[in-house]
Amino acid sequence: MLRTKRAYVAYGLGLTLIVGLMLAGAIYWWPTFSVNVTQLKVFALPVPMLGDMLNQIERGGVAAYVAGQHYFKAGNTVCVGAAILFASGAVAGEAQRGTLEVWLARPVSRARLLTERYVGGLLVTLAPLFLTSALVPWMLTWVDESMGFGDLMRMSVHCAAMLTAIYSLAFLWSTASSDPMRIIFVVLMFFVFQFAIYLVKTATNYSFFRLADIEVYMKIVLHDRLDMRIVGPFVAVSVVSYVTSLRVFARRVP
């Protein structure tokens, strides 16, 4: 999928557009939401976790709303999907279409080729997140609200760490596989399941998304710092996955 500069730019712009439009729509809807939050909580009664989220937003104001709409909703769905998509095709896609050999046959080291592919896909995944986050203060002026740029960047870094971990795991699998569709299906299904159990009150603490929900983001805003107990493991998983990918790729047969 991501093989040429043109593809990187196209997919990056596409993802930016999708996430940006979602964010713009959410911010545009903020005044209506804030007025009607009480009624919305009534609708959310059958799903207690939704009620909890609405309570958090009611308490946290526009910052919690942005965290919920941008980082929890867009970050944990669209960006996770993009990360899985870009990572799964990185090497397995080449193998599947048979171009792995011409990719490797050039006088360029495998480590360099893999790193380029890894960094390229990661940039396409993360750049839209940071770019759209940087636009939040400007968008909030539409609704006479404001939010600290530092808070937004810290929340973006947290979300990026989570996406990098997911991306790296999918990338590692891609390095060893020749079937990108299987990777996409399995990993996506796993995270859909994780999202599903997040909404179940009794099982929510077993969900991966507890590591990147509104409550976590609001703690970052309140404490003005990243929660390294969460970001640290994300980074560790990413590094280990990347290093393992290099080792696997070094012995990869075209």
Partner 1 sequence: MPQVIAAARLEHAAPVRVQARKLEIDQRRPAVRAHDDVLFLVQIVVAEADAVERAHEVLQQREEVVGQRLRAVQRRARDVGAQDDLTRPRDPPAQVGVRREHSVLDEPAEPAPVFGREAVFEVSERRQHPALTSREGPRQRPEARARRGDPPHDPLDAEHAARNGQALEQLDMPERVAFELGHDSHLGHRARTVRRVGQRATHSPVGGTARSLAGTARRGGGPALLSASASLARANVHTFPSAIPVQATRPPKSSSAARAGAIHARGLVRRFGAHTVLQPFDVDVEPGLVTGLLGPNGSGKSTFMRCLVGLVRADAGAVTLDGVRLLGDGTGVRERATYAPGELHLYGELKGHEQLTFLLRGRDRAAHERARNIADDLGLPLERRVRGYSHGMKRQLLFAAAMAPDVRVRILDEISEGLDPAKRSEILERIADDAAAGRAVLLSSHHLGEVDRVCARLLFLSKGQLIADEAAVDVARRSSRRLSLVWADEASATRALDVLRGPLVAEALRDGARTSWLLAEDDPRPFLARLAAASELPAPIALEHGRMSLSDLYRDLYGVEGT
> For partner 1, which residue of 10, 47, 111, 196 counts as binding (CB under 8 A)?
111
Among 42, 107, 138, 202, binds partner 1 (CB under 8 A): 107
Three-state secondary structure along the chain?
Answer: CCCCHHHHHHHHHHHHHHHHHHHHHHHHHHHHHHHHHHHHHHHCCCCHHHHHHHHHHHHHHHHHHHHHHHHHHHHHHHHHHHHHHHHHCCCHHHHHHCCHHHHHCCCCCHHHHHHHHHHHHHHHHHHHHHHHHHHHHHHHHHHCCCCCHHHHHHHHHHHHHHHHHHHHHHHHHHHHCCCHHHHHHHHHHHHHHHHHHHCCCCCHHHCHHHHHCHHHHHHHHHHCCCCHHHHHHHHHHHHHHHHHHHHHHHCCCC
Q: Which of 10, 35, 108, 228 binds partner 1 (CB under 8 A)?
A: 108
Verify binding: residue 102, partner 1, rule CB under 8 A.
yes
Closest CA to 128 of 14, 245, 232, 223: 14
Q: Which CB, 3 or 182, lies closer to partner 1?
A: 3
User: Per rule CB under 8 A, is residue 202 in the interface with partner 1?
Assistant: no
110, 182, 210, 219: residue in contact with partner 1 (rule CB under 8 A): 110
Q: Does 109 bind partner 1 (CB under 8 A)?
A: yes
Of 25, 98, 148, 233, the one binding partner 1 (CB under 8 A) is: 98
Query: Does 9 help bind partner 1 (rule: CB under 8 A)?
Result: no
Nearer to partner 1, 103 or 195 (CB): 103
* 36 makes contact with partner 1 (CB under 8 A): no
Should residue 101 be labelled a site residue for partner 1 when binding is judged by CB under 8 A? yes
Tell me, residue by residue from 157 to 176, as one string, x for binding to partner 1 by CB under 8 A and - for no binding: --------------------
> Based on CB atoms, which residue is closest to partner 1, 98 or 232?
98
CB of 87 to partner 1, least distance (A): 19
Chain contacts with partner 1 (rule: CB under 8 A)? 3-4, 97-99, 101-102, 104-111, 250-251, 253-254
